[in-house]
């Protein structure tokens, strides 16, 4: 399966429609078209990090500066960022909106993704963070808007899990 360019466009449009013009990311296969769109968009600032936990700090700095922002990362990057999420974002009530590529779940052919795929949801539940699965391209815009809105009103990190159905599509 390949990554769906059309569905990636819908995700990107959802990000733009939420009013976000500042993204942090670490490149990952499912995010490849999203990152290309962000790079080609003169309205968007894209900051690529060396490790995802940095993005929690950068997002907090952007938030303090009043800049709406979203984090793009793989679920393993989320797992690697837990201390930043807990001891910066949650501790200081800094909202984060995370769009997480949910690798390693149903249909995953690559063994190396599988453990991370199985523990992502339990970890989100353990942290008490609101999350939702994004499966349908036609709903993604609304879901991004809602995840973003809730992070801002609750001052709690929220996550949208970008699933295989969405990111690989039927192409």
The residues that touch other proteins, with contacts defined as CB under 8 A, are: 22, 45, 47-51, 53-67, 83-84, 87-88, 91-94, 155
Q: How far apart are the first and last CA of the chain?
A: 8
CB of residue 59 to other proteins, shortest distance in Å = 6
Question: Within 13 A of 146's CA, how many CA atoms are on the CB side?
Answer: 11
CB of residue 94 to other proteins, shortest distance in Å = 6
Cβ proximity to other proteins: between 84 and 137 the closer is 84
CB of residue 137 to other proteins, shortest distance in Å = 30
Residues in the chain: 171
Nearest 5°: the CA angle 45, 70, 149 is 130
Sheet architecture: strand order including 69-74? 45-48, 22-25, 69-74, 97-101, 158-162, 131-134
Cβ proximity to other proteins: between 84 and 104 the closer is 84
Cβ proximity to other proteins: between 52 and 105 the closer is 52
Cβ proximity to other proteins: between 94 and 101 the closer is 94
Largest Cα separation within the chain, whole Å, is 43
């Amino acid at each position: 399966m390949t990554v769906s360019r059309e569905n990636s466009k819908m995700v990107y449009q959802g990000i733009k429609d939420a009013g976000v013009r500042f993204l942090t990311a670490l490149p990952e296969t499912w995010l490849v078209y999203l990152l290309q769109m962000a790079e080609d968009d003169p309205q968007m600032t894209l900051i690529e990090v060396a490790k995802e936990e940095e993005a929690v700090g950068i997002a907090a700095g952007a938030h303090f500066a009043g800049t709406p922002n979203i984090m793009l990362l793989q679920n393993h990057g989320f797992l690697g960022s837990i201390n930043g999420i807990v001891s910066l974002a949650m501790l200081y009530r800094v909202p984060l909106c995370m769009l997480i590529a949910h690798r390693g779940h149903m249909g995953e052919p690559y063994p190396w993704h599988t453990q991370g795929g199985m523990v992502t949801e339990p970890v989100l539940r353990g942290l008490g963070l609101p999350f939702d699965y994004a499966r349908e391209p036609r709903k993604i815009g609304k879901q991004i808007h809602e995840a973003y809105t809730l992070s801002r009103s609750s001052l709690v990190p929220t996550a949208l899990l970008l699933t295989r159905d969405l990111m690989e599509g039927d192409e």
